[in-house]
Homo-oligomer: A and B are copies of this chain.
């Protein structure tokens, strides 16, 4: 948790901005501005966006170098600059900065302090690195890995193992829940005529639930990361997921019923019980896969962490409870 808090502090716009940028006055002419830029001697991408600021340091507008170059010599900067610009504050999240650069095809993004005074700029190349790092972190969290700063090629075997063992141990411990659940239903499994069918279909049921949950959670986590799913869309998305899970659950249940009766030679009652379990498991797994990342965002936990590794275990336990509950009800 401490690591998460430190991460949040580190991942601010202020941490990736550069204090190098070109700041000019609004009453300058285009040719004067070009001379001023050339005289600045600045040799970085920050040069491609000129920031027009007032005497108090407050940002009035931004001017793309390409607009300045295309303008006639005598045009004043205040007539060329874009006053409807995007800016981030120093303590805004890096992902906010990345989203703005991506959405509006920016080359550089201004960073201001609380009072709106210009303090730095973030170049698009920094944003490319932020995007890849954030995506890598999501990939790793969703695969139950402790995120690593190091590239794979330079990581030692010990480092690799130490980033894998914590979650493997936690998840192994939590799937012992499944063992206890099965043990407590052992009498049912041995006594019921359906015992054999239940045991042999357990992996199929748990896998299908896990796959359905991983599908919906991945889509929701990705949509959040790309800014395609704002908090106020949550209700609509949950409704969509419920309907989608109904279609998938019914479809998979039906196919499983036909498979068990026609191919595996089970009775219709056996096939119906297992297929209903498949259908309910898919609905529960799919809905949880959508709900957990949304809850995580509300609680300010990384959605990738909550939905990836934990979801599988929760879905496993729930799918077994559905199966045992159904067979108990029928028997």
Contacts and interface: CB of A to CB of B under 8 A. Distances in A.
A211 B167 contact: yes
Nearest to A222: B139
Given A102-B128, A102-B129, A124-B107, A218 B168 contact: no
Interface stretch (A55-63, A85-93, A151-159): A151-159
Contacts of A301: none
Interface centre among A135, A144, A316 (most CB of B within 10 A): A135
A101 interface: yes
Contacts of A69: 34, 37-38, 47
B66 A211 contact: no
A139 to B, nearest CB: 5
Interface residues of A, number: 107
Contacts of A241: 160
A207 B252 contact: no
Given A128-B102, A229-B152, A252-B169, A244 B175 contact: no
Given A70-B38, A200-B182, A161 B248 contact: yes
Given A124-B128, A160-B244, A206-B206, A183 B171 contact: no
Interface string A155-195: 10110110011011101110110111011001001000000
Interface centre among A69, A157, A175, A251 (most CB of B within 10 A): A69
Interface in A63-119: 65-67, 69-70, 101-102, 105-107
A180 B180 CA distance: 24
Given A42-B66, A65-B65, A153-B223, A145 B218 contact: yes
A157 B157 CA distance: 44
A260 to B, nearest CB: 9
Contact of A179 (B179, B204, B228, B243): B204
Given A139-B222, A143-B219, A165-B252, 19 more contacts: A38-B70, A42-B70, A43-B66, A45-B107, A48-B48, A48-B66, A48-B107, A102-B129, A131-B135, A139-B218, A153-B229, A153-B237, A160-B240, A161-B247, A161-B248, A164-B212, A182-B199, A183-B196, A210-B210
Interface of A: 34, 37-38, 41-45, 47-48, 65-67, 69-70, 101-102, 105-107, 124-125, 127-129, 131-132, 135-136, 138-140, 142-145, 151-153, 155, 157-158, 160-161, 164-165, 167-169, 171-173, 175-176, 178-180, 182-183, 186, 189, 196, 199-204, 206-208, 210-212, 214-215, 217-223, 226, 228-229, 233, 237, 240-241, 243-244, 247-248, 251-252, 255-256, 259, 264, 278, 282, 309, 312-313, 316, 320
